[in-house]
Amino acid sequence: MADAKGKVKRRTKKPAPAGPDKVKRIAILTGGGDCPGLNAVIRGVVRAAILEHGWEVLGIQDGFDGLLAAGAHRRLYSHDVRGLQARGGTILGTSNRGNPLSYPVKASGKTVFTDVTGEIVRNIGKLGIDCLVAVGGDGTMKIAQALFEKGVRVVGVPKTIDNDLEATDVTFGFNSAVNTATDALDKLHTTAESHHRVLVLEVMGRDCGWIALEAGIAGGADVILIPEIPFDLAGICDHIEKRKRTGSRFSIVVVAEGASPAGGEKIYEREPGADGNPGRLGGVGRWVADKISLCTNLETRVAVLGHLQRGGAPTTFDRILATRFGVEAVNLIAAGEFGSMVCLRGRKIDSAPITAAIHGIKRVDPRGQLVRTAEALGIELGRMP
Ligand code: F6P
């Protein structure tokens, strides 16, 4: 800004707002499955912590593993996060195996599952970390809460492409995943139409059908199958045959990996184990396609989108949400609101106790507005008659 004489006045640096006692060094980790937007959160946290408060930031490598004996960390500077808003994945690495509340430890040649959070608390103390920012889904938030109960100052940032975390309207990563799935449906449409085929797209969604439902509506699917509505094959086949009779010689089916037939079970590529391994879902798309082909005699093909939904650059929406979450996490630390998680309510960034996010998961309401929108468009949800 120039003064009356036209001389440019230098801006004096804004004094850093006083934080809670003794916050000098914070740390950030990303846990659970990756998703687009994690790097934008890291950038938001690092920049706001350094520029607004002059705090040091440590980046913890590979989720909570980085706080165990063999773990690794490094100091993050402003230049380390340059341009990160546009980059998928996480520069810190992540892990969705080895939950520290039940960690596989070798003892006398056997693997035993042990709570190693005590070791994490000690290492946080040794590293002089005044507050830990944990970015992750429900698994990460459960661990963050356990650490908070042991006296660690933590702040949570919710992420998951599945959008199934309670206490926030939306998680970043979801919009990018829906975009990828919608794009795939647009592509499948042209080939399905050309060959007069039924094309089945299997998308992610372990317990909740948010990706399938939103991408299905946006991508003009004819059938959408979600975990919240156990499906009836006869109704689905009737719908596809009726489309054919009325001149639509192709159909597009989108199925969430966690969807299951009424009275049946979820389909796993690798079954869950007694050791707490949650199993790997996969195969319901093939299963549905085979049944449709048998029952309608129509040529059917399957595409499984898999980890393409978790990769690549975040959408503009996710970049902004993730950045706002990162900056707000720093504000929570400055305000001393430990044990809280940032969240989105309407258009406003807010916060909630981490406990509010982990008491259950946010499912699609089978009679809710979004489902009714799909049904109003004539989309078959596979409901039992
Ligand atoms: O929780 C997100 C999610 O993408 C689920 O939809 C899916 O079942 C799971 O992660 C797959 O995780 P992994 O990286 O272990 O294959």
CB 85 within 8 A of CB 40: yes
The pTM of the full predicted model, rounded to 2 decimals, is 0.93
What is the chain's mean pLDDT, rounded? 94
- Split at pLDDT 50, 70, 90, the class of 12 is low
CB 236 within 8 A of CB 189: no
Q: CA-to-CA distance for 279 and 333, rounded, in angstroms?
A: 36
**Which ligand 1 atom is the nearest neighbour of the CA of 137?**
1
Q: Which residue has the tokens 């934008």?
A: 40
Amino acid at 319: R
What's the 94 CA to ligand 1 centre distance in angstroms?
13
- Split at pLDDT 50, 70, 90, the class of 3 is low
Residue nearest atom 10 of ligand 1, based on CA coordinates: 33
Tell me the three state secondary structure of residue 142.
Answer: helix
Q: CA-to-CA distance for 327 and 69, rounded, in angstroms?
A: 30
Q: CA-to-CA distance for 53 and 50, rounded, in angstroms?
A: 6
CB 117 within 8 A of CB 150: yes
> CB under 8 Å to 271, separation ≥6 — which residues?
279
- Split at pLDDT 50, 70, 90, the class of 18 is very low
For ligand 1, residues with CB inside 6 Å are 33, 96, 160-162, 204-206, 257, 280-281, 310
Closest CA to 185 of 314, 305, 364: 305
Q: In what order do the strands lie in the sheet with 340-345?
A: 73-76, 56-60, 25-30, 131-136, 154-158, 340-345, 348-353
**pLDDT one-digit tens code per residue, 45-88:** 999 999 999 999 999 999 999 999 888 999 999 999 999 999 99
CB 278 within 8 A of CB 311: no
Phi, psi torsion values for 20, nearest 5 degrees: -70, 160
What's the 17 CA to ligand 1 centre distance in angstroms?
40
Element at 156 (helix H, strand E): strand 154-158
pLDDT for residue 9? 65
**pLDDT one-digit tens code per residue, 315-363:** 999 999 999 999 999 999 999 999 999 999 999 999 999 999 999 999 9
CB 59 within 8 A of CB 91: yes
CB 184 within 8 A of CB 221: no
What's the 206 CA to ligand 1 centre distance in angstroms?
7
Closest CA to 185 of 203, 172, 170: 203
Neighbour-count burial for 298-314, b at 16+ CB within 10 Å, e otherwise: bebbbbbbeeebbeebb
- Distance, first Cα to last Cα, the chain: 70
What is each CA distance from 41 to 62, 86, 157, 172, in whole angstroms?
A: 16, 11, 8, 10
- How far is CA 207 from its chain centroid? 13
- pLDDT surpassing 90 at residue 10: no
Q: Is 62 a catalytic residue?
A: no
**Which ligand 1 atom is the nearest neighbour of the CA of 257?**
8
CB 360 within 8 A of CB 165: no
CB 113 within 8 A of CB 103: yes
**Which ligand 1 atom is the nearest neighbour of the CA of 205?**
6
Annotated catalytic residue, options 162, 207, 222, 232: 162
Tell me the three state secondary structure of residue 202.
Answer: strand
Query: What average pLDDT score do residues 225-240 get?
Result: 98
Q: Which residue has the tokens 């992420």?
A: 159
CB 217 within 8 A of CB 379: yes
